[in-house]
Every structure is written in structure tokens, then in C-alpha cells.
Structure 1
Amino acid sequence: MKFIKSFFKIVRNWYFNRTVSNYYGTNFKKNVLISYITLPFYKNYVSHTNSFEALTAAKIFNELGYNVDILFYKNKINDLKKYDVIYGFGDVFEQVVKKNLNPTLIYYGTGMHVCHQNMKTLERMHDVHQKKDVWLPKSMRYVRESWSYQTTIAHAIIALGNEVCEKSYRKHTDISKIYSLRAPYFHTIKNNLIYERKESSKNKFLWFGSSGLIHKGLDLCLEYFKLNKTVELHICGNILSEPDFVKVYYEELYRTKNIFTYGFIDINSEKFKEILLTCSFIIFPSCSEGGSPSVVTCVGNGGLIPIVTKETSFSTGYEIIIDNYSLKGIEDAIHSVTSLNFEKIKALQEYNQQFVLKNNSQDKYLKDMRMIINNIIEPTMDGCANVSNL
């Protein structure tokens, strides 16, 4: 049975990671290669915003008169000479150098610079080791393929997130054209939950994230909420995919009365809506993100007040900042909101949600990305190097 599952996974990956040739069937004079993910060009899904991001890039280049090919970012391609533009990330950037080619290269950074990310995620793993005397490398977000070529030779970088993410690239590269772009999200809940939410939600906090549980600070949240029974932590994410983490934190995850672990939650489900109504805050002490689509999703759909580190590269002007990756950092941030009355909480929820609705919608992402790509491939056009606040 295990062999059959492994074989099926190999076949599935091969099928969905195939190169997509001339997606729109056009006959333009110019060609672009998008090196990213290929799955959304074969199958519709909304489990991650990268599907929308990939399709948006293809749409824009098609509108600009390019024949669009899409390559899975870990794959290589033989004929690179035909491409006027290469967009995305992955091994293809190194291929360009080795073949001595000179297309316009646009790096799409879906997180902070890998030098920042790797250093911080290793530090966080070390923090847990100091407390638990166990190494949990599968709960990091360590990038082994650093792909230094792509952040060195690119003509321009598009950094997903706010100015914090952008600055991480400026610190590690001399590339002058670096654009920040706020992360989009899927708006699945149409009614306003803020005024449906009961006052009992004011002491309830949501952690909503994907893999890399230490990287994303779930360990810190578990540590704090285990010690503080007057507040509740609700956890959504594929926790069981990191069994070593679960083994170490089993007591907190499943045997602590004020901590509720749900597992993966579909954002189109009634359960997602129910959890958003239960909580007033989303807490996310991550050490490195690209705009934090998971946070954006909860703020945009539910109006939750974000309690985040600066390194989430998400900001509204009304967020609560976690100053450092420590129990004290979590404690200070939570204490700053637990004293608020419910009317003030609802006002902050409204401010945060309205900001996200205006600045993180898919329409806004499309508009800003179109402007950025135009600025890069048409140097004569006037434009600014940061459209996050347009």
C-alpha cells in the first residue's frame, strides 16, 4: 500500500509539474517564461494564493503581447534563447548565466530574502532546542536551494509583502529596482462577521498557518497559552504533517483545556466562518514571511485584529506588534489588547478589515502587479518603486 501511494504521488507530481507551452495559444513576436508553479494551469484550487499569483502573472504578460510558457521552478528547460523575459524564481536563472543569455530577468520573491529567512528559522529552531533538548528541523522553513543567482543577476525584484520584506532584499543585493507588493487573498465570506461576533470572543485568539510550525511561532503561542488559562488559543493548520513537533508539544496541542487544535480548515467551509466568529484576534509570531496571506485571509474575511511580528511583512497601521520571538514578546502583545473594551475591539477590527479590503484584494494585486511589470519591461514609463500604498 505504501509503495502504491508513493508511486501515485510520483505520477501526480510529474503530471502537474509538466511545462506548459504557449498557454494562451497566441502568435506574438515576444516570449516570456514564467518559472513558478504549474498546477493552477492544469487544475483549479484555492488552498493557497500562489495559484492566483501564477495565473495573474500569465494574464498580464499575455495582455502585454507575450506568448506565455510556464515552467515548474525546480525543472530545467532546453531552449532558453527564445525568451525575451524570464519571470519568477528557480533553477532557470542559473541556466541563463551558464548559457550566456541576456533576457530581462524578473525575480518574484514570495518571502523575505533567503539569507534573512534561513538565519532566522535556524535561530528559532535553536531556541526550541534550548527549551526542549530536541532538534526539530522539519518545523523550520529552511531553503536549501538558496538560488543566489536569481537575487544577484535579476534586472528587478518584486517582493511580496510590505517595506520590511523589500528592505530584506536591499540589504543583500545591489539591484536598484525592487518593488514591494501586498499579498492577495481569497475573499470567501461575504457578510460582515464583526457585528455578528459575541463579546465572549474578546479573549480568544487564532493561529492560522501552514508548514514550519516553529518558523511561524506556534511553539511560542502554545507556551504562553498553556500558562495563561484566562485566554484561549484556536489552531488551524496541517499540524499532523509535522509529527516530531506534535510529539514534543502533544500536551499543549491536545490536553490543554484552553487550547483547541482543529487541523487543516478549508476557507470555503462553514467551520472556517465559525472559527472566525469565535475569535477576535489572529496571532502570528513568524520570523519571516512574504506578506502573510494566512493573516490577510483572516483579517479580510473575519476582521480579526492582527497580532504579528514585523517580519510577517504585513501591516495595516492598526496591527499589534510582537517585538521579539519570546514568551515575553507574546505576553506584552496580548496584554496590550486584553484590557480593551469590546467596542474598542470592534473598532480596531473594522479598521484592519477595511485596510485589507482596500489594499489586499485580488483586483488591487492585479492592478499593482500590472503597473510594476510595465515599469520593468518599459523603462521609459514613469512609475514608483513601491506600489504597496497606491
Structure 2
Amino acid sequence: MLAKVLAKLLSIYYSKCPLRIKGYYINSEQKPKGTVLVSYLSEPLTWKPGDRRFLGHSNAWESSEIVRILNSLGYRVDVIKWNDVGFVTHNTYSAIFDIHNNLTRYGSSEVPRLFHVTTSDPIFSNSAALQRVADLKERRGCEVRSHRAIPDDEVEMFQRNLVAADVISFLGNKATASTFPETIRSKFRFVPVTGSYLSWHRDPRKTTFANEFLWYGGFGAVHKGLDLTLEVFARHPELILHVVGPYLKEKDFTRAYYRELKFCPNIVSHGFLFPSSDRFRTLTKRVKAFILPSCSESASTAAVTCMQYGLFPVVSDNCGIDVDDSMGIRLHTCSIDEIEQAVLSLCSTPNKSMCQMTLNAQKYALKVFSQEAFRERMHSVLSEVLQHA
């Protein structure tokens, strides 16, 4: 209890007084060549290895690793949080690394600028999210907020950053890159996203699959297609759906889907769970596949995590994950009928075939979306930017 109270107090403190780390440098083998400003996440750099906070979203590890790579390249780093617009510095920077607010705020136009993009184009994302909300209202006659809408002023800033950036590191694939203006895509340098921390990987070869499924996603239940998934499984009481995520915080959504979440015995509402937890391991023991019909992502960390864990993916094109028929099902329209057809096709898939396809997905995700792959690719991108420093 005390730990939770302290964590909440620290969260409030950092929201009012964001942590700023100046001159971070741990490379004892060479003197620093200069200083780079990183505007992303600052707190994770102070956490010790094994800190429970690393069990959450993988951006905590990624943001810290970016700083360590810059150190290895011979640059000290000033680190601020992405939404810290009150930072004042007299440093002359060798380069600017930013994910949102500070790309053009510090340094002259001659300073190399790297814009780190972790989303689809916000114009596309907002449009897709609003369409999902409108579709839900048409189906159910109730209004639910998207909870993922990006304000107009932030969209405008994002578009200015796309133009101002010299290089854009992009977590996604060609499908998600196509949501951006063609004129700026030559700046893109693809970087693989990483999955959340896992203490254990399920072995598909030792799994007896049942007609059990999982929806696992982040904030924005309608955006992530939980509404569509619930409606599919409400049609099929013979199939089990486990629901994991922060959706219980979205009161308008839980009111709209109260019957499905409370009174459908085949739909099990778990709320938020870490994928490394014992509860997650227990509930996924016989799960055949996870379902994520998201309307907009860059590359979905949730999807990558589930694949690495050992779950077969049923994902939308907009999840930003390249899977073929040998290791997944891609949803092109995310209609209820399309999702239902995908689920029913898996119900009739023999255990041996299910095992092999799931193993294919796991091996692919563990190789392509590893921390090593992220480190190698980000090192290359940062080296390219700093050639012009």
C-alpha cells in the first residue's frame, strides 16, 4: 500500500516538476564529442535494472537505450520528458532527438534533427478513431469517446515536425508508413519496436490449444477494437474470450458493454495485467490466439508482446506487423463478420497446424522485434544523424 501511495505521489510530482537529467555520460573510454538533447522519457534512466516499472510499456527501455547508444557514440546527453516545454538551456547541441514537443524549440535550423515517430499519421489516426466511434453509435445507439483523439494543435505541431526533421525514425511497417504524406517518406528510417518484458515464453509445442481467445490491448478500447471483439464472442457462447487491458478505466465503454463484460459467461474480464504476471500465464495456458483489430498504430507493442510470448496473432493491417498466412491472420476491414470468420477458422484448425503456425509467429517476433534488433538499427540511425553534427 505504501509503495502505491509513494508511486502516486511521485507521478504527481513529476507531472508538475518533470525530471531533467543534464550531461548524462557513462562512456569511460573516450571524451565526449558534444551534447545531444533527447526529449522522450527521463525517469526510466534513473531506474535500476529489474525495476518493476520496466514490466510495463517497452518505451521505458527503448528511451533509456537511446541515451546509452548516444553515449557509446561519444555524446553526453541532456534528457527531458517529451512534454516538458519549460526546459531552459544554454547548451549548444550537436543534435536534437524528439518524439513530439521539442524538435524545433532548441537549437538552430542547422542542428541535425531526428523526429522519433511512434504512431500513424495523427490525421489518419483521428479520422480512423472517429469512424470507429460513429460505427459503434450506428450499431448500438450509444456514444462512447475514442479516448485516443489527438488535439488539433498537437496534430499541427506533428505535421510541422515532419517537415522540420532531417531524419525520421519510425516504428512501423509500409502499411503504417502509407498513412503519412508521400513527400516526407524518404526521411523514414524503419526501427523495430520491442515487446514488453516477459519472464517466460510459452512453448507452442507443449500447448494443448482450446477454443479460448485473448483480447490484449492498451488504452482506447474502441480504437483497439475491443467493442468489435466483444460483439463477436457474444454471438458464440461456446467460445471463451479473455479480456486484458486498462478498459475498466473507460467508464463510458464499460457502461455500453456492461452486458458483455458482466453477464456473458464465456467472456472473462480480467482488467489490466502485466504479461509477465502469473495470472497472465495461467489464463493463457490454453489460449489459441489473440485478437487485436486496432484502427491505427505504428507497430503494436501489445501484438509483438503476445507473439513473443507464444500466441497466434489475429491483427488488423493497421497494427503495423507483417505476418503472412504461415504465422497469422491479417484483418483487412475489421468488420464483425471478418473477425468472426477468422475466429471460427481457427476453431477448426488441427492442434498440430496451430502449434506450427504459432511457433512460426513466435520465432519471427523474437528475432525481428528483439532488443538487439532495436539497438542495432537505432545505432545505425543515430550514427547517420550525427555524421552531420
TM-score normalised to structure 1 length: 0.88
Aligned to 2:230: 222
State the secondary structure of the residue aligned to 2:378: helix
State the secondary structure of the residue aligned to 2:92: coil
Amino acid at match of 1:364: A
Aligned to 2:3: none
State the secondary structure of the residue aligned to 2:103: helix
Aligned to 1:30: 34
Residue 247 of structure 1, CA deviation = 0.8
State the secondary structure of the residue aligned to 2:179: helix
Does 2:292 match 1:288? no
Aligned to 1:13: 15
Q: Equivalent of 1:376, from 369, 372, 385? A: 385
Does 2:256 match 1:245? no
Q: Equivalent of 2:328, from 319, 328, 333? A: 319
- How far apart, CA to CA, are the structure 1 residues paired with 2:312 and 2:375? 25
State the secondary structure of the residue aligned to 1:95: coil
5+ unaligned residues in a row in structure 1: which ranges?
A: 381-390
Q: 1:298 to 1:78 in 2, by over 3 A?
A: same
- How far apart, CA to CA, are the structure 2 residues paired with 1:273 and 1:378? 46
Q: 1:6 to 1:193 in 2, by over 3 A?
A: closer
Once the two structures are superposed, residues 148-203 of structure 1 have per-residue CA deviations (whole angstroms, 9 ceiling, x without a partner) of 221121011111122222232353x435221122211145244543133223x2x1
CA contact (8 A) 2:294 2:315 kept: yes
Q: 1:81 to 1:149 in 2, by over 3 A?
A: farther
- How far apart, CA to CA, are the structure 2 residues paired with 1:130 and 1:235? 24
Once the two structures are superposed, residues 281-317 of structure 1 have per-residue CA deviations (whole angstroms, 9 ceiling, x without a partner) of 010000111211111111101x211001110001233
Q: Equivalent of 2:344, from 313, 335, 349? A: 335
State the secondary structure of the residue aligned to 2:252: helix
Q: How does 1:111-150 map to 2 (within 5 A)?
A: 111-137=119-145, 139-144=146-151, 145-146=154-155, 147=157, 148-150=159-161
Residue 277 of structure 1, CA deviation = 1.5
TM-score normalised to structure 2 length: 0.88
Residue 352 of structure 1, CA deviation = 0.4
Once the two structures are superposed, residues 17-64 of structure 1 have per-residue CA deviations (whole angstroms, 9 ceiling, x without a partner) of 222111226762311111112221233422110101101110111111
User: Could you tell which deviates more after superposition, 329-338 or 221-230?
Assistant: 329-338
Does 2:366 match 1:357? yes
Aligned to 1:386: none
Aligned to 1:40: 44
- How far apart, CA to CA, are the structure 1 residues paired with 2:23 and 2:80? 11
Q: 1:192 to 1:232 in 2, by over 3 A?
A: closer
Two-structure CA RMSD over aligned residues (Å): 2.3
- Larger relative contact order (C-alpha < 8 A, sep ≥ 6)? 2
State the secondary structure of the residue aligned to 1:234: strand
Q: 1:6 to 1:349 in 2, by over 3 A?
A: closer
State the secondary structure of the residue aligned to 1:174: helix
Does 2:284 match 1:276? yes
CA contact (8 A) 1:253 1:261 kept: yes
Aligned to 1:84: 94
Residue 103 of structure 1, CA deviation = 1.3
Q: Equivalent of 1:255, from 254, 258, 263? A: 263
Does 2:301 match 1:299? no
CA contact (8 A) 2:58 2:197 kept: no
Residue 238 of structure 1, CA deviation = 1.5
Residue 142 of structure 1, CA deviation = 1.3
CA contact (8 A) 1:235 1:263 kept: yes
Number of residue pairs the alignment of both structures matches: 369
Aligned to 1:162: 173
State the secondary structure of the residue aligned to 1:280: strand
